[in-house]
Amino acid sequence: MSTAVITAENLSKRYQRGMAASGLLRDTLALAVKAPHKLFRREQKESFWALKDVSLAVQHGEVLGLIGRNGSGKTTLLKILSRITRPTAGWAEIHGHVGSLLEVGTGFHPELTGRENAYLSGAILGMGKQEITRKFDEIVAFAELEKFIDTPVKHYSSGMYVRLAFAVAAHLEPEILLIDEVLAVGDIRFQKKCLGKMGEVARVGRTVILVTHQLNQIRRLCERVVWLDAGEVRQTGPAADVVSAYETHMSSGFAAADSKVSNSRAEFLRWWAFDEEGNRTHNLHSDEGIRFQFLLRVNKPVLGLYHDIYLYDQDRQLLWGNAIGDVTLEPGLYLCDHSLPFLPLRPGVYTLRATLWDGGEIVADWEGAPGLRLSTLPVAHPRYEKSGQLNIPSKCVIIPEGDSPSPPG
C-alpha cells in the first residue's frame, strides 16, 4: 500500500536580510525619520530564497534522506514541515503526528533534575504525561543514568546530558519523525546504540525524514534521498545514486577551493582521478585499477625534493601513503602520475593529499577535500558495523577436513 503521508507542493521560503534582523525599534524609527517611504516598500529590503519550489511526496514507512551543502535549505524544509516556521508560498499536507528532533536536549533546563528534564523535554517534543511515565524506566535505562536521575543536569557531564536528551527523543512515537543531524552525538558506542534505535523506528513502519552530513548514515538508513542545492531540489532518487552524484559534485573542483599551502617555488593546481578505462571520474570502483594525476606548476627550479601522496578517510585517519625522492625539476608544468592496481576500501568518501617537501620545509601541500568517492558493492560482512575498513573480495567455503581448497588465484 502506498500512501503519501507528506505531500509538499512548491514550498518556498523567503528570508529578509539586513534591517529586519537588527530587531531594534531604534533602527526602525531612524529609518522612518530618514526615509519613511522605504518602510512600506517591501521589495527594497534585501531578501533571499532559502527554499524555492520544493515539491515532494513521502510514502508511509519510508525513510527519506535530505542532503546538500550548508545553507542549501535542508533545515528550512524541516522547519516548515514541523510547523516551526511558515512557508512564504506553496503548501504541504501531513497525515499524522509529527515529532521533530532538530537539536539534542530541546527544552532542557540546567537547574532541573534528570527526571524533571525528561518529563519536560518529553512534553515539549510532544509526549503526554502518561506516555512519559509509562516509558520512564526504559528511558533511564537507555540513557544509562539510573544513579543520577535525581541530580540536576547542570552537574552532568556533557556525555550524560546528551545521553539523557537522546534517550527521551528516541522514545518519541509519532507517526512521522523529522530528524536534523542529531545522530552525531555522544561517544561512538552510544552513537551505535542510537542508530540501532533509529533502525527499529524505521522498521515499525514510521515515516522518517533525516538530514545529516554523514553520508554513510544516509546510505545505511535511507531508501530514497533528496538532494537540495541552493534551496531547490537538484535530484531525487534511490539513496545510492543520489549520494554518489552528490559526492561527485562536492569533490569536483579546483585546488583553490580546498586547503592548500604553497610557497612561491611550486604549486599544485588541479588533480584528476581516472578509472581503468582512462575515464576521468571521481567515482571509482575499489576492485579496479585507479590512476591519480596532480598538475604541478614549478616557478623556480627545484632540486632533490620529495613528492608524497597520502590517502585519508573521513575521520582523518591515514590509510595509505607513498613517496618518491630526488625530484629535480625546471620551471614548467608537470603531471605527477600515480597508478594503483586496485583500492580495496569500503564505499565512502576519501581525501587525497599531495605534498612536495624540501628537507623539513613544505614547498607545496594540497589537500582535495572531499577528495574522491569509492563506490562498489560491499563484499564484506553483511552487518555494517562488522565489515571494517577494507573491501577485499574474498571467498569462503566450508568443506570436510582433508580436502584442501584450491590455493587463491
Partner 1 sequence: MSSVTSNATAVAPLTERAVTYPVVRIEPARGWFNLRLKELWDYRELLYFFVWRDVKIRYKQTAIGVLWVVIQPLLTMLVANLFFHKLAKIPSPGLPYTVFCFAALVPWMYFSTSLLNATNIVVENQRVITKVFFPRLILPFSAVMSGLVDFAVAFIVLLIFTLSYGIRPTVSVLLLPLFLLLAVLTALGVGLWLSALNALYRDVRYLLPFIIQFWTLASPVYYSSSMVPERYRWLYGLNPMAGVIDGFRWALTGAGHPPSAVLMASTAMVCFIVFGGLLFFNRMEVSIADRV
Which residues contact partner 1 (rule: CB under 8 A)? 1, 3, 5, 15, 20-21, 23-26, 28, 60-61, 79-98, 100, 102-103, 106-107, 109, 111-112, 116, 119-120, 123-126, 128-129, 175, 205
Residue closest to 302 by CA, chosen among 355, 252, 344, 358:
358
What gap in Å lies between CA 336 and CA 271, rounded to an integer? Answer: 9
- Contacts for 55-58 with beta carbons within 8 Å, 24 or more apart? 55/8, 55/9, 55/10, 55/11, 55/90, 55/233, 56/6, 56/7, 56/8, 56/226, 56/233, 56/236, 57/4, 57/6, 57/7, 57/8, 58/4, 58/5, 58/6, 58/7, 58/207, 58/209
What gap in Å lies between CA 226 and CA 353, rounded to an integer? Answer: 30
Residues paired with residue 296 on neighbouring β-strands, in sequence order? 268, 334
Task: Report the residue number, 107 or 289, with the smaller CB distance to partner 1.
Answer: 107
Task: Report the residue number, 99 or 370, with the smaller CB distance to partner 1.
Answer: 99
What gap in Å lies between CA 199 and CA 221, rounded to an integer? Answer: 7
C-alpha cell at 199: 533502525
State the DSSP code for 390: B
Separation in Å, CA 211 to CA 37, 68, 107, 179, 220: 42, 9, 21, 6, 13
Least separation in angstroms between residue 169's CB and partner 1 is 11
| Contact between 284 and 373 (Cβ < 8 Å) | yes
Least separation in angstroms between residue 179's CB and partner 1 is 12
Least separation in angstroms between residue 23's CB and partner 1 is 6
Task: Report the residue number, 20 or 362, with the smaller CB distance to partner 1.
Answer: 20
Whose cell is 502518561? That residue is 130
Task: Report the residue number, 113 or 376, with the smaller CB distance to partner 1.
Answer: 113
Least separation in angstroms between residue 5's CB and partner 1 is 7
Least separation in angstroms between residue 134's CB and partner 1 is 14
Task: Report the residue number, 123 or 195, with the smaller CB distance to partner 1.
Answer: 123
Least separation in angstroms between residue 175's CB and partner 1 is 6
Least separation in angstroms between residue 88's CB and partner 1 is 6
Task: Report the residue number, 130 or 264, with the smaller CB distance to partner 1.
Answer: 130
* Secondary structure E strands in 341-398: 348-358, 361-374
Give me the half-sphere count of Cα atoms (radius 13 Å) on the Cβ side of residue 290: 20
129: left (phi over 0), alpha (psi -120 to 50) or beta: alpha
Least separation in angstroms between residue 360's CB and partner 1 is 48
Least separation in angstroms between residue 18's CB and partner 1 is 13
Task: Report the residue number, 154 or 300, with the smaller CB distance to partner 1.
Answer: 154
Task: Report the residue number, 4 or 319, with the smaller CB distance to partner 1.
Answer: 4
Task: Report the residue number, 24 or 396, with the smaller CB distance to partner 1.
Answer: 24
Count of CB atoms within 10 A of residue 309's CB? 17
Task: Report the residue number, 9 or 144, with the smaller CB distance to partner 1.
Answer: 9
What gap in Å lies between CA 116 and CA 217, rounded to an integer? Answer: 32
What gap in Å lies between CA 325 and CA 271, rounded to an integer? Answer: 20
Least separation in angstroms between residue 354's CB and partner 1 is 42
| Contact between 48 and 17 (Cβ < 8 Å) | yes
Least separation in angstroms between residue 142's CB and partner 1 is 21
Greatest distance between any 2 Cα atoms in the chain = 97
Task: Report the residue number, 12 or 355, with the smaller CB distance to partner 1.
Answer: 12
What gap in Å lies between CA 373 and CA 323, rounded to an integer? Answer: 22
